[in-house]
Amino acid sequence: MPAVLTVDLPLEVLTTDQMARADRLTIEGGVPAMTLMENAALALAKATSQILQRTSGRRVLVLCGPGNNGGDGFVAASLLRSQRYKVRVASLARLEELRGPAARAAAAWPGAVTSALECEFEGADLVVDALFGTGLARDLDADACDLVRRLNRWRRASGQNVVSVDIPSGVDGTTGAVRGAAVEADATVTFFRVKTGHLLLPGRLHCGALACAHIGIRPSALETLHVSTFINAPALWRSDLPLPQIEGHKYSRGHALVVSGGASFTGAARLSAAAALRAGAGLVTLASPSDALTVNASALTSVMVRPADGARGLAAVLTDERKNAVALGPGLGVSEESCAKVETALAPQAYRRAAVLDADALSSFAHDPERLWRATRAAPGPVVMTPHAGEFARLFACCENDGACRSKLDKARAAARASGAVVVYKGPDTVVAAPDGRASILPSATPWLATAGSGDALTGIIAGLLAQRMEGFLAASCAVWMHARAAEIYGPGLIADDIIASLPHVWRELCGR
């Protein structure tokens, strides 16, 4: 798998409506729509010819749709033809149905145009998919679905490349959903800014290598769009990254407390504790039930172990105000006692303590999520919750079933609003959402991350960053990225311990040394 977590893409991520507004503002500001289309086609032709040079291909088939996405295709076809590629064009619409810049682009194409529904892919070295872009408004009809499926079958059978213009046709640019059928591309060239549908599954899996081209829309257009979704990349949180100071000491780097389960369930909390230390917390203590003290103490060296039985025992350990971040959930057990421990950890108090809730700390409230929201809303410091899809569905049924929530991003945002907490909705396209509306989307994650203990390591990294007083949304986003990058660096064969062992490499990359 290529290292995509370090690829440079602009930070802001737009919905298709926001992109249409950016286009409109730019055109109203005096840049002709045709100029934007020509710039888009230039970027597309460049990306296409780079692939053709690599594969020694000469024959290109351009599939054009009924809107401006098709217009980009016509202009790119003309450009590629002028570079002496052998170009065929097939259109989904009759040429007299085209409007505006798309009609002008089609009129300027000097070659023949055949029907896309009847076109043959045989003989092509590369297909340009310019059928539908950000204007896709409904599911593809049966004929268009059939065309897309034929294209996908040909690509798999021939091993040839497909390059999508703006977004693979059939992918909803805002939600990432497949509207009937969607092109499977090897590369996608989008314009100005990446759209949410490029990053959310299943859309992301259709894009192939994603590139974003400048087409003449000024970044100042973003000011009126109120963008609150970002790619989860170092540029989002790097300036807030806590780095040890020469004059500092271990207490100034924060003290994380991880709550262990009983004697038979201690491994998960120990993984979290080790990850919190590697994430840079100055000290980490494991609060352990008495029956698990021996096993915990004998398995740990740099993590301290303190006895804590039940919610009262936890309250006693937490009277130490230096313990400024607490993590609960891994191996905790689903029980009323776990609910009481969570409420103890979140109880209002004079000092600002951060909390991370994962796994059983969430599942224990599945029968009464409102009880958890009362505690998270009243908590004195930032609270981060890290549900995977199953936990999310149990806890946030209200957001799952809300008709207004059309994507994973919408659901995570609604959950963050309901709970007043930062919600890390885990998965291959992990979304981090803050109650104030900010959200980040992880652009990639290796499937090797789906391994036992991986979530426990993430919980620990978040706790470690929170202990160093990083702001909740940024700490959660940074932890999600570090976790994924550690796994990407390690590669195949990864187990949870390797994520923790790889964190120093991630720190070296981030610190530039």
Ligand X SMILES: NC(=O)C1=CN([C@@H]2O[C@H](COP(=O)(O)OP(=O)(O)OC[C@H]3O[C@@H](n4cnc5c(N)ncnc54)[C@H](OP(=O)(O)O)[C@@H]3O)[C@@H](O)[C@H]2O)[C@@H](O)CC1
Among 69, 229, 444, 477, binds ligand X (CB under 6 A): 69
87-146 residues near ligand X, rule: CB under 6 A: 132-141, 144
State in angstroms the smallest separation of the CB of 64 from ligand X: 9
State in angstroms the smallest separation of the CB of 180 from ligand X: 7
Q: Which is nearer to ligand X, 140 or 423 (CB)?
A: 140
Is 331 annotated as a binding-site member?
yes
For K ion (CB under 5 A), the number of binding residues is 4
Question: Which window, 28-36, 128-136, 334-342, 386-394, contacts K ion (CB under 5 A)?
Answer: 128-136
Q: Which of 91, 130, 86, 81 is nearest to 113 (CA)?
A: 91
165 is a site residue for K ion (CB under 5 A): yes
169 is a site residue for K ion (CB under 5 A): yes
Count Cβ atoms below 10 Å from residue 281 Cβ, excluding itself. Answer: 30
Is 261 annotated as a binding-site member?
no
Q: Which of 67, 43, 41, 20 is nearest to 174 (CA)?
A: 20
For ligand X (CB under 6 A), the number of binding residues is 28
Q: Which is nearer to K ion, 210 or 342 (CB)?
A: 210
Q: How far apart are CA 460 and CA 268, in angstroms?
A: 10
Q: Which is nearer to ligand X, 130 or 474 (CB)?
A: 130
Calculate the dihedral angle through the C-alpha atoms of 192, 197, 200, 205, rounding to the nearest 10 degrees.
-90
Q: Which is nearer to K ion, 16 or 169 (CB)?
A: 169
Q: Which is nearer to ligand X, 102 or 241 (CB)?
A: 102
**Using CB atoms within 10 A of its CB, is residue 398 exposed (0-12), middle (13-18) or buried (19+)?**
middle
State in angstroms the smallest separation of the CB of 434 from ligand X: 29
Q: Which helix (H) or strand (E) holds 505?
A: helix 496-511
Count Cβ atoms below 10 Å from residue 315 Cβ, excluding itself. Answer: 15
Q: What binding mask, one character per residue, do residues 135-154 give for ligand X by CB under 6 A, x or -?
A: xxxxxxx--x----------
Note if the bond before 202 is cis, omega within 30 degrees: yes
| φ, ψ at 373 (rounded to 5°) | -65, -35
Q: How far apart are CA 403 and CA 395, in angstroms?
A: 17
State in angstroms the smallest separation of the CB of 200 from ligand X: 17
What are residue 287's DSSP bridge partners?
259, 306
213-232 residues near ligand X, rule: CB under 6 A: 215
Among 164, 232, 386, 459, binds K ion (CB under 5 A): 164
62 binds, among K ion, ligand X, none (CB under 5 to 8 A by kind): none
Q: Which is nearer to K ion, 165 or 241 (CB)?
A: 165
169 binds, among ligand X, K ion, none (CB under 5 to 8 A by kind): K ion
Q: Which is nearer to K ion, 204 or 469 (CB)?
A: 204
Query: How far is it between the farthest Cα atoms of the chain?
Result: 82
Q: How far apart are CA 246 and CA 248, in angstroms?
A: 6
DSSP class per residue in 77-115? HHHHHHTT-EEEEEESS-GGG--HHHHHHHHH--S-EEE
165 is a site residue for ligand X (CB under 6 A): yes
State in angstroms the smallest separation of the CB of 187 from ligand X: 15
Among 33, 95, 300, 315, binds ligand X (CB under 6 A): 33
Count Cβ atoms below 10 Å from residue 447 Cβ, excluding itself. Answer: 11
By beta-carbon distance, which residue lies closest to K ion?
Answer: 169
Would you say 126 and 161 are in contact if contact means Cβ atoms under 8 Å apart? yes
Strands (E) across 1-95 are located at: 13-14, 59-64, 86-91
Q: How far apart are CA 455 and CA 194, in angstroms?
A: 28
Question: Which window, 122-130, 206-214, 220-228, 335-343, contacts K ion (CB under 5 A)?
Answer: 122-130
92 is a site residue for K ion (CB under 5 A): no
Binding residues for (6S)-NADPHX: 68-72, 133-139, 166, 268, 331, 388, 456
Residues that bind K ion (CB under 5 A): 129, 164-165, 169
Site of interaction with ligand X (CB under 6 A): 23, 33, 36-37, 40, 65-72, 132-141, 144, 165-166, 191, 215
